[in-house]
Amino acid sequence: MTDLKRFEGHGVLVTGAARGIGAAVARRLAEEGGRVLVTDRDLPEAEQAAAALREQGLAVRAFGCDVADRASVEAAVAHAVDVLGSLDVLVNSAASCTPDAALFEDGPDEAWARDLDVTLTGAYRCCRAALPHLVASGRGAVVSVGSVNALQDFGNHAYSAAKAGLGSLTRTLAGHAAARGVRANLVVPGTVRTSAWEGRDAALDALRPLYPLGRVGEPEDIAAAVAFLASRDAAWITGTTLHVDGGLTAVHTGFRTALRGVPATDAP
């Protein structure tokens, strides 16, 4: 729980918010006073997440939204404006990540299309539907959730390409919307302990030494960064990419470890 109240009177729509990072973002912005619409393709799970937050006295509602469907997105945005009174913040957290085929050339078109449609085009649909309302609010902000997969090869070809495209979308939207008073930024998480890693604690433990800060991320780490970029504390920040990755992309821990004990004259 935070004592900050940076979103008092703000209407907030979060996609992919039934679980994981999206759910943590919804909680954080609601704790800071926002009126939050939790949206997800899985409506029963979204309703369960929203109900849990309402039990804590937070202003949270749920609505079913499939970001792969334009009509569904437009309905969610219209509902947000109706029940929240305004739409001031859009957080694009919905994503699709299909496991890779054993060989690159065996990857099916359907998996590629699905990951791009949900992860990249879905964010585009949401931004397009929300932008007039974000302009009208006079303090509109878009924060999208990217991935370190956009920067290096960590597998998941289609998901990685979609997240890379999300960076470009963020910059072009920032350029277009700045004169209309709307900011657009991107957070780039590393490995985050979500339900996608359920039952894979050994894998998370194996990854921990690769992170200079000594641990994988938690959803709350990403939510804190999203809250900053969505708030007026970031009023002069737009078009930027904020790495929230424990130092993974800044420091090559494997390289540094390999050099330990090697005489300096032999080091590259």
Q: Which residues are catalytic?
A: 159, 163
Cα 88 from Cα 12, distance rounded (Å): 6
CA distances from 99 to 76, 108, 158, 175 (A): 29, 11, 9, 34
Contact by Cβ (8 Å): 146, 241: yes
Question: Residue 100 phi/psi, 5° resolution?
Answer: -70, 150
* 261, burial (CB in 10 Å: exposed 0-12, middle 13-18, buried 19+): exposed
Q: Which residues make beta-bridge pairs with 186?
A: 144, 241
Q: Which two tokens stand for residue 154?
A: 């960590």
Q: Encode 43-61 in three state secondary structure.
A: HHHHHHHHHHHHCCCCCEE
Cα 241 from Cα 144, distance rounded (Å): 10
Beta strand segments in 30-174, E:
35-40, 60-64, 89-92, 141-145
Closest CA to 12 of 3, 51, 31, 21: 31
